[in-house]
Amino acid sequence: MPNALPDPPPEPVAWRDVPHGRVLLFAPHPDDEVAGPGGALALHRRAGDPVRVVVATDGIDGDPDRRFDPATYALMRRQESAQGLHEVGVDDVVFWGFPDGQVLSAADVERGVRTASAALQDFHPDVVYLPWRHEGHPDHHALHHIVVAALARTAFAGLALGYEVWNAMLPDVLLDVTPVVEQKRRAMLAHRSQLAYVRYDHALLGLSAYRSLVHQRGQGYAEAFCVVQGPLPGVPAAPGR
What are the tens digits of pLDDT across the range 64-93?
Answer: 889 999 999 999 999 999 999 999 999 999
Q: Is residue 9, in this structure, part of any structural domain at all?
A: no
Q: Are 129 and 26 within 8 A, CB to CB?
A: yes
For residues 8-20, average pLDDT = 93
Q: With 80 as the cut, is the pLDDT of residue 2 above it?
A: no
Q: Is residue 235, in this structure, part of any structural domain at all?
A: no
At 166 the pLDDT is 94
Where in the sequence is the domain holding 143, given as residue range(s)? 16-229
Give the distance from CA 117 to its chain's centroid: 18
Percent of the chain with pLDDT over 70: 96
Query: What gap in Å lies between CA 70 and CA 58, rounded to an integer?
Result: 12
Query: What gap in Å lies between CA 67 and CA 18, rounded to an integer?
Result: 39
Amino acid at 134: H
pLDDT grade for 235, boundaries at 50, 70 and 90: low
Q: How many structural domains are present in the chain?
A: 1
Q: Is residue 238, in this structure, part of any structural domain at all?
A: no
Q: Please return the burial class of 167, using the count of CB atoms within 10 Å of its CB with bins 0-12, 13-18 and 19+.
A: middle
Q: Is residue 241, in this structure, part of any structural domain at all?
A: no
Q: Is residue 239, in this structure, part of any structural domain at all?
A: no
The model's pLDDT over 95-128, given as tens digits with 9 standing for 90+, comes to: 999 988 888 889 999 999 999 999 999 999 999 9
The model's pTM is: 0.94
At 167 the pLDDT is 95
Query: What gap in Å lies between CA 55 and CA 90, rounded to an integer?
Result: 13
pLDDT grade for 241, boundaries at 50, 70 and 90: very low
Q: Is residue 60, in this structure, part of any structural domain at all?
A: yes
Q: What CATH number is attached to the domain comprising 206?
A: 3.40.50.10320
At 186 the pLDDT is 98
Q: Is residue 23, in this structure, part of any structural domain at all?
A: yes
pLDDT grade for 203, boundaries at 50, 70 and 90: very high
Residue predicted with more confidence, 162 or 99: 162
